[in-house]
Homo-oligomer: A and B are copies of this chain.
Amino acid sequence: MTIEKVVDFLKANDNFEILTHNYPDGDCLGSGYGLCLGLQQLGKNARVITTALPKDFKFLLNGVKEQDFKAECVVSVDVADEKLLGCNQEKYQGKIDLCIDHHKSNRVDAPLKFVDDTSAAACEIIYRILTEMGVTFTKEIANCLYTGISTDTGCFRYTNTTATTLRICADLLEYGCDSGYINKVMFETKSKKRIELEREIYDRMIFCCDDKCAVIYTTLEMTKGLEDEDTEGISSIPRQIEGVKMGITIREKPDGVYKVSVRTNGDIDACQFCKQFGGGGHAAASGCTLNGDLQGVIDTLIEAAERTL
């Protein structure tokens, strides 16, 4: 499917609901609100459906109109699998008309799909769509798209960053995006609680596979009283350590559910690793969910890491 067909579809339709994934991040929210702002600017009705809106992302709502309408058209952004719709899955399963994504592993079942895994972020695709639609890039739209691209590339540190990524963000800076504010909130600010959490994480870090794999974890006890923002991005901690090829982060969620993030360096495929457990994502950054008790989950993952490394 070409970007022109996506544009034709969006122009021909109205009354959009835009779906994002659960545990929403900068890219799905930036894509969702960026697209919503663009559609509203063209005189259409649109709203974003999300399972949550973490406090640090509230500024993405700037300029978004609350519109009262009956939905006619469902678009998903940055959603690799309908399972990831969380509490919205039941309502929207099988009802997505257009799926826009950048995950190679995408398996959303939709009649129209635009999946481009050369884009560092879904927001890059939204940038192209809005440009093609003749949308005027306001400061608010630029902020949405910059947020998605900067968070999905670790502020341009990850290898998914391309020349196109940087050129799009150069344009967004010229459109007045407040990169100073966004970078500070997303990458430069740590709460005192976060610093305390990092110390605890370092204390309990487990090395295996000849120090080629590092495993960190947070328990409900450790994250009690912390905001989502305090725990965000911890999955980049283990991979940062010299010599570590695979960093595994385990987050305890209520009811014996463990959310696992895997980050890899070099030739190790994190997506392949997570597929064993029903998950997926990108080659260098993927995720999956395991059930059970903490020690069991750790043991299972270490065994799998030993087979992989």
B167 touches A242 (CB 8 A): no
A13–B187 CA distance with the chains assembled, in angstroms: 45
**CB of A53 within 8 Å of the partner chain:** no
> Digit string of A235-256 for contact with B (CB within 8 Å is 1, else 0)?
0100111100000000000000
Of the residues B163, B183, B241, contact of A190 by C-beta under 8 Å: B241
**CB of A4 within 8 Å of the partner chain:** no
Q: Which residues of B contact A202 (CB under 8 A)?
A: 195, 199
Given contacts A155-B156, A241-B195, contact A166 B161 (CB under 8 A): no
B155 touches A188 (CB 8 A): no
Q: How far in angstroms is the closest Cβ of chain B from A103?
A: 20
A173 touches B163 (CB 8 A): yes
A240 touches B170 (CB 8 A): no
B180 touches A159 (CB 8 A): yes
Q: Which residues of B contact A155 (CB under 8 A)?
A: 155-157
**CB of A91 within 8 Å of the partner chain:** no
B192 touches A242 (CB 8 A): yes
**CB of A191 within 8 Å of the partner chain:** yes
Of the residues B158, B187, B242, contact of A189 by C-beta under 8 Å: B242
Chain A residues 154-196 with CB under 8 Å of chain B are 155-159, 161-164, 166-167, 169-171, 173-174, 179-180, 183-184, 187-192, 195
**CB of A22 within 8 Å of the partner chain:** no
**CB of A265 within 8 Å of the partner chain:** yes
Of the residues B162, B167, B239, contact of A188 by C-beta under 8 Å: B239
Q: Which residues of B contact A192 (CB under 8 A)?
A: 241-242
A191–B155 CA distance with the chains assembled, in angstroms: 22
> Digit string of A275-309 for contact with B (CB within 8 Å is 1, else 0)?
00000000000000000000000000000000000
Q: Which residues of B contact A240 (CB under 8 A)?
A: 188-190
Can you give 25 A-B contacts (C-beta < 8 A)?
A155-B156, A156-B183, A158-B183, A159-B179, A159-B180, A161-B173, A163-B170, A163-B171, A163-B173, A164-B170, A166-B167, A166-B169, A166-B170, A167-B167, A167-B170, A170-B170, A188-B236, A189-B240, A189-B241, A189-B242, A190-B240, A192-B241, A192-B242, A195-B202, A195-B241
Having A155-B155, A163-B170, A163-B173, one finds 16 other A-B pairs with CB under 8 Å, namely A155-B156, A155-B157, A156-B156, A156-B183, A157-B183, A157-B188, A162-B173, A163-B174, A167-B167, A188-B239, A189-B240, A189-B241, A190-B242, A191-B242, A195-B202, A199-B202
